Amino acid sequence: MLQRSNVEDMMASAIENGMALWMWPLTAARLASDWAETMASARSVVAARMPTIAAAWINPFAADYRELTRMVTEKTSAFGHSHRSISFAQEAVRRASEANVHALGKLSDGGFFGWSEWTKLAERNLDIATTLAMLPTRALAPIHAEATANARRLAKS
């Protein structure tokens, strides 16, 4: 679990969040391209590795355990990084939402919001929107990187 200071240090400024949302259509297009490239790379990687897997089934004593181990560790590492990006986003959204609930509770109890409270509320909402908009791209990035790197490496073999 991330400590509060680490999450706050990693939060982008309102200007950075605004720019990220402004550029979101381009980010979505890149996500679509990366997704297609990941799927094509995965297909070529599976095709290149099937003979290694088949050889291991036929004769386990002569199997290429280095490559077989690499198959597992690369996938678990990529999916672990992807999971961490999802967990970070979940934690950031949870913390911002809790802060908003606390602030709006103050307002519903008859309290007054000054300019700074409204600004903080708007910045937290902008951070939530940016985090959720960027989540698919950030979650796919480690998987895409690993799949395309494997496809290039195996194409050379």
Backbone angles phi, psi at 152, to 5 degrees: -65, -45
pLDDT at 8 over 70: no
pTM comes to 0.79
- Give the ranges where 23-114 is alpha helix by DSSP (H): 24-58, 65-108
Report the b/e string of 65-99 with b at 16+ CB within 10 A. eebbeebeeeeeebeebbeebeebbebbbebbeee
Using a pLDDT cut of 70, give the percent of the chain over it: 93
CB atoms within 10 A of CB 155: 11
Domain map (residue ranges) of the chain: 13-156
Mean pLDDT of all residues belonging to the chain: 90
Structure token pair of residue 2: 């991330």
pLDDT at 9 over 70: no
What value does the mean pLDDT take over residues 108-120?
A: 87
What value does the mean pLDDT take over residues 107-134?
A: 90
